[in-house]
Structure 1
Amino acid sequence: MLIAAIIYTMHYAKKVKAGKYKDDSAVASTFKAIDLKAVPEYTGKRKLIMGIFAFTFLIMIISLIPWSNFRITLFEDFHTWLAGIPVLSNILGVGHNVALGSWYFNEISALFLISALIIAFIYRKGFHEKEVSITDTFIDGSEQLLSVAVIIAVAAAVSIVMRSGGIEDTIIHWGETGLKNSNGGIVGILAYIFYLPLSFIIPSSSGLAAASMPIIAPVADLVGSTKETMIVAFATANGLLNMIAPTIASLMAGLTLAGVSYKTWVKRVLPIMILFVIISLAAVFIMGVI
């Protein structure tokens, strides 16, 4: 897909260079050239902030790796040792968290909150000089995550209702009845087709996974296919819709910045999208067969 996209993009660029497709951009692009003279000075304070930001992500990555699976007990031993210190362990709340390698949403949320507070404290004079509220800045950043959080919550609620009402079992039974005579390749293709309209309805990839995987995974087991095949079908179908569906905020924002209408975008990328579908179906079928 990457090779096909590069070839297609270069072919399009060659035509643009030759003077074609002049009307593709209906309005002027809002992108502006970077004024290197106006770039803020990379001071020691900004270097420190970027260091804290990078260190936060480093801790997050380390915290999500299951070190015990590799027989590395360094972090568990350190956590046990820290928990044995009477006063310090209570101050740090060691008893309310787990060792690195076993972290999840609660611990990671606390990590980024602490990191944000440290950065806000270091750069407090900068906020004051620009007359910008630290709280408002934090809230503005959080607003961008709320829509995804709501979608995930709603998707999870749908899954719970379907499971509690026996609807999920009914769908699985229908899937087993309809697909039990199909081989793994055909099942993967049907799953891909299933995910295309579903990706349009639920644009969030995480929300779509939360809503559908509890149903699709058991169907794969029942018909003798692999969960990996279903995941590839989900990822490729959802990825395709993310590049073309008008419900995708990042796509529409990018088109707006570039000054390109949605109609023009669909018209130009439709050939490569069809090619992506063919490649995806072939990959899913081969995975299901082997």
Structure 2
Amino acid sequence: MLNMKPVIDAASSRFPVRPGIRPLCCLLPLALLLAACSPPRTDDASVASDYQVVSSPVKAIVKEVLVKPGQQVEEGALLLTLNPEIDPMAHVMEVTRNVLGDPGAQKQNEGMPARRPTMEDMMAAVRADQDNVREKSNRWAESAGQVVDVLVKPDQAIVPEQPLLAISSGDFIVVARFKEDEVKQLRVGQRAQVQLMEQVIEPDRQGRRRDTDRPSEQIFSGSLKAFGDVPAEGSPEATIEAGPNVKVVARAPVQIVLDVPPAQRGLFRRGRAALVTMQKD
């Protein structure tokens, strides 16, 4: 029997295998297998539905609530009325200061003293302020939709920026854009998980602080409602502009409908970015 060991050793000496090549060759098929089995995932996603939170601009008492949950309202509809709580004396003094300004800060123009406000100026300022208070006494719908949450009742005391009610334009929809080969793996009704992106400030490698987006820890469950984007009335068609050396990866949109608890609905503002992970059956 021939001894082939010297021949093999000679070949090995001419073509030595670098350390680490053999482990990488073993891991590559495993990585490809995991990539093929992992569910489609994309951060090219955003909230497509409107959720309007109506809040109070001033400290006030709720006078009248004119809508109820489930009611459809048109844009500009009166939702509720308020009685702003205003200290009359303090309010008059504030208006007076706004009209008169700071006497010490008045500058002379070419040696002449600055013009002092007249009584007519004062009355005009008071009338304008009354109109402003009247404006704050009424809350209107900024867009058409369905009243989904009424958070206050008549005679309730409220503070500035307190949410009063909310209007939804429909289902809570996130539009996710996947690669075309990934879309072929999806079906209507397939479950999905959605994480809204939040902006945080993190230091970069040079120690400079910069804004960056990352997915929030809270996960919302949903399902694939339909293929294609949500039609927007009057919105321009999407276009892609790229240089000659840029390779554009075609992506197709799908609609993910979510079941969102009332306490978290205010997080879903139109255009907010999201991370969508589809679930395997």
**TM more than 0.5:** no
Larger fraction in helix: 1
Q: TM-score, normalised by structure 2?
A: 0.22
Q: Which of the pair is proportionally richer in strand? A: 2
TM-score computed with the length of structure 1 as normaliser: 0.22
Which structure's relative contact order is higher, taking Cα pairs within 8 Å and 6+ residues apart?
2
